[in-house]
């Protein structure tokens, strides 16, 4: 079975920031999000970014004054992050985010796992286990920010073919295949080189995480929910450790 790491290594990493509309646009979205929600350092100023990718959250957090530890399994995306971050205080770690406690201090002020990273985990038990570990790893009054796509609502028939992005020489299409607990995400890229169109394809599974289950799981672990916001199918939660 293709796991998330193989999928990013084999296909997705070089197209990732382009397919989302470009690097600067995503940085700006996250800068605005953190500013609007008062995410700025007031305690130790240590932030951990789990599934940091190319840095769409790490870079704005470092600009806001955090010292960031960015963890991801994609070497290529972390290299992009390093290049784009310049001299900002961001340490990158290539590892499974579930091992995050091995790479940070005993406690952090902020832990983020954003941009749909959570759905890359294998099972609800992994998500719940992560919440428990994050709770332990936060300072008192520290916060967790998660955002992910609600995949519990099933698209039907042709709606499952999603035209992600295209331009003169690249066409990126995604096809969704629904399973009970997961969605099989097939990414198909046509890229023109000289006078030929080359097709690349790969798939991975994303977890269908129910929003209400997530709220309940966070509360059960001990978090207080500050923000629970669904916009265009994307759920963002800010949870605090009291
Ligand atoms: C959808 S991207 C989000 C990246 C970034 N947070 C953003 O908003 O652009 C998911 C990221 O999680 C990483 N990832 C997936 N599973 C992981 C795991 N178990 N441990 C570490 N990184 C993981 C992928 O390599 C990818 O960079």
Domain ranges across the chain: 4-150+209-240, 157-206
DSSP state of 119: G
List helix spans (H) across the chain: 4-7, 16-19, 23-36, 58-63, 75-85, 124-137, 211-221
Q: What is the pLDDT of residues 81-119, one digit of tens each?
A: 999 999 999 999 999 999 999 999 999 999 999 999 999
Taking residue 10's Cβ as centre, other Cβ atoms within 10 Å add up to 14
113, 218 Cβ separation under 8 angstroms = no
Is 116 touching ligand 1 by the criterion CB < 6 Å? Answer: yes
User: Across the chain, which distance is largest between two alpha carbons, in Å?
Assistant: 60
Is 108 touching ligand 1 by the criterion CB < 6 Å? Answer: no
Q: What is the pLDDT of residues 16-39, one digit of tens each?
A: 999 999 999 999 999 999 999 999
Specify whether domain 157-206 bears CATH 2.20.25.
yes
Place of tokens 């940085």: 27
CA-to-CA distance for 145 and 161, rounded, in angstroms?
A: 30
Distance 224 CA to ligand 1 centre (A): 25
Specify whether domain 4-150+209-240 bears CATH 3.30.1200.10.
no
CA-to-CA distance for 47 and 45, rounded, in angstroms?
A: 6
CA-to-CA distance for 123 and 23, rounded, in angstroms?
A: 30
- Global confidence as pTM: 0.97
Q: What is the pLDDT of residues 52-88, one digit of tens each?
A: 999 999 999 999 999 999 999 999 999 999 999 999 9
How remote is the C-alpha of 160 from its chain's centroid?
Answer: 22
Place of tokens 């998500």: 127
DSSP state of 22: -
The per-residue pLDDT for 1 is 56
Is 58 touching ligand 1 by the criterion CB < 6 Å? Answer: no
DSSP β-bridge partners for residue 166 = 171
182: confidence class by pLDDT, cuts 50, 70, 90: very high
């Amino acid at each position: 079975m293709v796991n998330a790491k193989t999928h990013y290594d084999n296909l997705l990493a070089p197209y990732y920031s382009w397919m989302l509309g470009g690097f600067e646009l995503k940085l700006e979205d996250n800068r605005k999000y953190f500013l609007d929600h008062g995410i700025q350092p007031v305690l130790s100023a240590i932030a951990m970014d789990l599934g940091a990718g190319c840095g769409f959250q790490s870079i704005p957090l470092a600009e806001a004054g955090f010292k960031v530890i960015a963890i991801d399994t994609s070497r290529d995306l972390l290299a992009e992050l390093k290049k784009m971050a310049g001299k900002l205080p961001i340490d990158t770690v290539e590892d499974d985010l579930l091992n995050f406690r091995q790479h940070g201090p005993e406690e952090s002020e902020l832990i983020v796992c954003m941009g749909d990273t959570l759905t890359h985990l294998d099972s609800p038990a992994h998500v719940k286990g992560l919440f428990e570990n994050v709770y332990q790893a936060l300072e008192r009054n520290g916060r967790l920010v998660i955002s992910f796509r609600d995949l519990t609502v099933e698209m039907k028939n042709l709606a499952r073919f999603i035209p992600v992005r295209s331009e003169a020489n690249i066409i990126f299409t995604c096809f969704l295949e629904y399973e009970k607990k997961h969605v099989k995400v097939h990414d198909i890229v046509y890229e023109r080189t000289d006078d030929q169109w080359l097709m690349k394809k790969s798939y991975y599974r994303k977890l269908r995480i129910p929003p209400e289950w997530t709220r309940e799981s966070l509360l059960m672990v001990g978090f207080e929910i500050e923000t629970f916001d669904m916009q265009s199918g994307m759920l963002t939660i800010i949870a605090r450790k009291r």
